[in-house]
Amino acid sequence: MASLSFIIGIIGNVISILVFASPIKTFWLVVKKKSTENYKGVPYITTLLSTSLWTFYGIINPDGLLVMTVNGAGAVFQLIYVTLFLIYAPKDKKVKTAKLVAILNVGFLGAVIAVTLLAIHGNIRLTFVGILCAALTIGMYASPLSAMRTVIKTKSVEYMPFLLSFFLFLNAGVWSAYSVLVKDIYIGVPNAIGFVLGSAQLILYVIYKNKSGSAKSTEAMEEEGSAHLVKGGIEMHSLEEDLTNRSLNKGKSLPKPHFNRQYSLQKIVKTLSLNPYALQSSWPHESDVEEGTKN
């Protein structure tokens, strides 16, 4: 049993490190552009706190070698990310991020370690730190709930990357199995919750994957239709001008149309200002297609 738990723990280490390494591409772009652009530093700061606490938990736990090694590696990754964020963030965002790092990763973490070592003794130490670690991990696994809500609302998986969802699901599953073998409730509860949420994400991905392509195709068709409508308006305007000029050339006595150009110009400007959905409603011959889309 001990050897099986060790093997599963090693597998968990490998998967967790892959998850921790996933933002490398993002920060490579940050370094290349020398700007954090619209990226937020909060996820990396909170993950640094979580991995640091789990590392401490592994240190005080007699059977926590694998927990300590994987979270120690994760803390190093997150520390690098936070440091790069502080270097390349704009001044106002840099100040806010630095304050948050000081509060969470220095103040709070230091307070937990000090209280644990100085004021708490025996098995209560493990319970105290374990509960804190479990709470932070549940928060980490619950963070994709907003992405899941967006997927359901937009019927698109564009903002929920499959590989990240899959590896989080796999990571939670492996560590849940490990917790059962070593009988560690503090590892088991948050990872079991993560496994359920990860399963839900993958189910949503399967449901909305094809619908995402259909939605994009519909949008492309709408844009193409808009372009044709605008083009048609311009061609009609040219035809009107041509007919007017020919009429004037044939008979000077014909009354000059006083509204033609202004009306046509206003029509074109109005057409250009419409969004794809407003344009679609202006096509009487497309009513059947529109009803089919709604259904």
Query: What SS3 string covers the chain?
Result: CHHHHHHHHHHHHHHHHHHHHCCHHHHHHHHHHCCCCCCCCHHHHHHHHHHHHHHHHHHHCCCCHHHHHHHHHHHHHHHHHHHHHHHHCCHHHHHHHHHHHHHHHHHHHHHHHHHHHHCCCCHHHHHHHHHHHHHHHHHHHHCCHHHHHHHHHHCCCCCCCHHHHHHHHHHHHHHHHHHHHHCCHHHHHHHHHHHHHHHHHHHHHHHHHHHHHHHHHHHHHHHHHHHHHHHHHHHHHHHHHHHHHHHHHHCCCCCCCCCHHHHHHHHHHHHHHCCHHHHHHCCHHHHHHHHHHHC
Residues 225 and 165 in one domain: no
Q: Give residue 279's domain range.
A: 218-294
Residues 224-249 have a mean pLDDT of 49
Q: Do both 192 and 226 map to the same domain? A: no
* Nearest partner of 74 among 60, 59, 54, 92, judged by Cα: 54
Mark whether 159 and 237 lie in a shared domain.
Answer: no
Query: Do 128 and 235 belong to one domain?
Result: no
Whether residue 55 is found in the same domain as residue 173:
yes
- Same domain flag for 205 and 224: no
| Structure confidence at residue 139 (pLDDT) | 83
Q: Band of the pLDDT at 161, cuts 50, 70, 90?
A: confident
**Does residue 107 sit in the same domain as residue 62?**
yes
Q: Do residues 63 and 25 make contact, with C-beta atoms less than 8 angstroms apart?
A: no
Last residue of a domain, one of 194, 214, 234: 214
pLDDT at 224: 46
User: Would you state the structure tokens that stand for residue 205, as one six-digit string?
Assistant: 């991905």
Residue 81 has pLDDT above 90, yes or no: yes
What is the per-residue pLDDT across 1-54, written as a single tens digit (0 to 9) for each? 568 888 999 999 999 999 899 889 889 999 999 998 888 888 899 999 999 999
Same domain, 150 and 276: no
pLDDT classification of 147: cutoffs 50, 70, 90? confident
Give the C-alpha separation, 267 to 264, whole Å: 5
**pLDDT, mean of residues 91-105:** 93
Q: Is residue 138 located within the same domain as residue 183?
A: yes
What is residue 231's predicted lDDT score, i.e. its pLDDT?
47
- pLDDT the model gives residue 290: 37
Last residue of a domain, one of 214, 237, 269: 214
**What is the number of structural domains in the chain?**
2
- Of 55-59, 200-204, 268-272, least confident by mean pLDDT is 268-272
The rounded distance, in Å, linking the Cα atoms of 256 and 209 is 58
Average pLDDT over residues 286-292: 38
Mark whether 93 and 122 lie in a shared domain: yes
Closest CA to 156 of 219, 218, 215, 212: 212
pLDDT exceeds 50 at position 230 = no
Token look-up 């990754």 returns 77
In the structure encoding, which two tokens stand for residue 138, read together? 């549940």
Q: What is the mean pLDDT of the chain?
A: 77
200-215 average pLDDT score? 78
Give the pLDDT confidence score for residue 126 in this predicted structure: 93
Which of 181, 214, 247 is at the close of a domain?
214
Q: Mean pLDDT, to the nearest integer, of 255-261?
A: 48
Reported as a pLDDT band with limits 50, 70 and 90, residue 151 is confident
Does residue 74 register a pLDDT over 80?
yes
**Same domain flag for 100 and 190:** yes
Asked if 91 and 207 sit in the same domain, the reply is yes
What pLDDT is stored for residue 111 in this prediction? 96
Which of 102-111, 210-219, 244-253, 272-281 has the weakest average pLDDT?
272-281
What is the reported pLDDT for 26? 87
